[in-house]
Structure 1
Amino acid sequence: MTEAERHRLMLDFLKDRPFASVRDLLMIVDASPATIRRDIQKLHETGAVRKVFGGIAAAEHLSALERLAAKPFEENQMLGVAAKKSIAEEAAKLVRDGDALIIHGGSTCHLFALLIANRNLRIYTNAMPLAAALWQKGSCQVTVAGGDLYREPGVIYSATAGPPEFYASKFFLGAQAITSAGMFESHPLIVRETEKLITRCDEVIVLADSRKFGLRARHQVMNLNRIGTLVTDDGLSDANHKMLTDAGIKVVIAPRRPE
């Protein structure tokens, strides 16, 4: 059983109860007590659970919309593919040869990165699936974050490290949800890493299909006025378009092609 599978079982066990003891976790996960304790520490560091005496306590329960927003990468990359490909193509037009870019994880950013993988670029990423894809399929220069791999969000993260010594003209990232209060994510670790990376770029460019405006997520990443450009599809409502432009965001609409 992989670490990601163990973590998923532990989190599923907590959905209907406020607490799970180490003994409970030993019953549902095929692992040693030492491995269970390491898993507890890792989940606690990401904010997915709270480590308490004798086990773990559940974080606040997510709403149905939040659970939809928090789908894992492997599942999420199969949703809204046509819109995401169109958004990725429009985002690629914003890149100039010679640019230094920061690219976060997520299915739309993954498609975008593949389109520019063989251009004359310097790319920094903390997303393991994206780094692997750029290594296999690209020729651009790639800098990868240092730290531990957190498999659930697919992020390489170090709790003790500061912002990287990498400066970018553009920071491309996705979003789990966007409202008038700002951009939100379901995993707290993504928020922490974004807060570091946002200090190392000139412009923030968000790639988010129009479905993200109907979702909610727990953790605020940034206010709308921190976003420079947002690329989305033509399913964006007039009300949401006005919300974005009123916040000073340049909105790029990618025409959706047939699924």
Structure 2
Amino acid sequence: MSESARHETISAILEERPFVSVKELQQILHVSAATVRRDIDKLDEGGHARKVHGGLAALDGGTRHKTIALPFIENIDIAVEAKTAIAREAGKLVRDGSLIIVHGGSTCFHFGRHIANRNIRVFTNSMPVAAYLGEHGTCQLTVGGGDLHREPGIFYDPARGGYEFYASQFFVGALGVSSAGLLESHPLLVRFINDMCDLSNEIIVLVDSRKFAERPPKVALPLSRVTRLITDDGLTDRDAAMLEEQDVSFTVANTGTGVA
């Protein structure tokens, strides 16, 4: 990773949190402590962040963006009816005997539960999805390698050269959705999503209707690359019109309540 790419990654991290340690940056960037400290010095000297004991702090306390990614253990119990309905609809698109990629996040976790016993091979970098499928599923399972990033709960090595497979479908969630595309706040998720999209024939987005109101800072994927988006019946007319204007094929899953 080049110096400019490292600085961009560090800046993105500090947009969502007030502090990042030297050790965390070593793990995220896969560089030495000496390289991290040089990056910290340059960002501090350039007025982009503030050097503090043990790491780097955001100049504004990391509060520029209102969207916050909740820990998985909290998010798993939010909008369960909507996520379950989305998982059911997504399951209808899966073809027996195929290889699919399942992303992290709570909606993809519910989808993973739904297809756990299908005659398919699942590739995932999600720790919760892999743990569930390993214990409760009968599908074939391949888990991506790399360091464990406990939040957002994925195994990932950004320095890896590539994967030697091609999938029929990539099922992916997002922290937010707008006309610009799928939105995320964590820089590793942005890179991972792009890696997996390059390995997939179809990109299926699984997002509950609340995500259309969220505005995380990073565009992970433009809507032009999305094959189909599945959401719930809490989708507003305005958001449906936006998807139609962007020429996005979408399915509205019935929760039975009409409320996300």
Q: TM-score, normalised by structure 1?
A: 0.80
Structure 2 unmatched runs, 5+ = 1-13, 42-52
Distance 2:249 2:24 in 1: 42
- Alpha carbons 2:146, 2:156 under 8 Å: kept: yes
- Alpha carbons 1:228, 1:248 under 8 Å: kept: no
Distance 1:216 1:157 in 2: 24
Match of 1:138 in 2: 137
- Alpha carbons 1:124, 1:166 under 8 Å: kept: no
Q: CA deviation at 1:63?
A: 4.2
Alignment CA distance shift 1:242-1:151 (3 Å): same
Alignment CA distance shift 1:182-1:45 (3 Å): farther
Q: 1:83 aligned to 2:72?
A: no
For residues 1-259 of structure 1, the aligned pairs below 5 Å read 15=18, 37-42=22-27, 52-53=40-41, 55-59=54-58, 61-63=62-64, 65-67=66-68, 70-258=69-257
Cα deviation code 1:61-105 (max 9, x no counterpart): 2446312xx111111111111111111111111112112101100
Report SS of the residue matched to 2:168: strand
Q: Provide the aligned C-alpha RMSD in A.
A: 2.4
- Alpha carbons 1:148, 1:156 under 8 Å: kept: yes
Cα deviation code 1:133-189 (max 9, x no counterpart): 110011111111111111121111112213311211110010100011111111111
Cα deviation code 1:105-147 (max 9, x no counterpart): 0101111111111111011111111111110011111111111
Q: Which amino acid aligns with 2:111?
A: F
Report SS of the residue matched to 1:66: coil
Q: Which amino acid aligns with 1:196?
A: D
Distance 2:23 2:66 in 1: 30
Distance 1:177 1:116 in 2: 24
37-46 or 126-135, which deviates more = 37-46
Identity of aligned residues (%): 46
- Alpha carbons 1:150, 1:157 under 8 Å: kept: yes
Q: Which amino acid aligns with 1:166?
A: F
Alignment CA distance shift 1:167-1:43 (3 Å): closer
- Alpha carbons 1:229, 1:252 under 8 Å: kept: yes
- Alpha carbons 1:163, 1:199 under 8 Å: kept: no
Structure 1 unmatched runs, 5+ = 1-10, 21-35
Distance 2:86 2:232 in 1: 6
Alignment CA distance shift 1:155-1:234 (3 Å): same
Cα deviation code 1:192-217 (max 9, x no counterpart): 11111110001110000010000111
Match of 1:32 in 2: none
Distance 1:237 1:245 in 2: 12
Q: TM-score, normalised by structure 2?
A: 0.79
Runs of 4+ in 1 over 6 A off after TM superposition: none
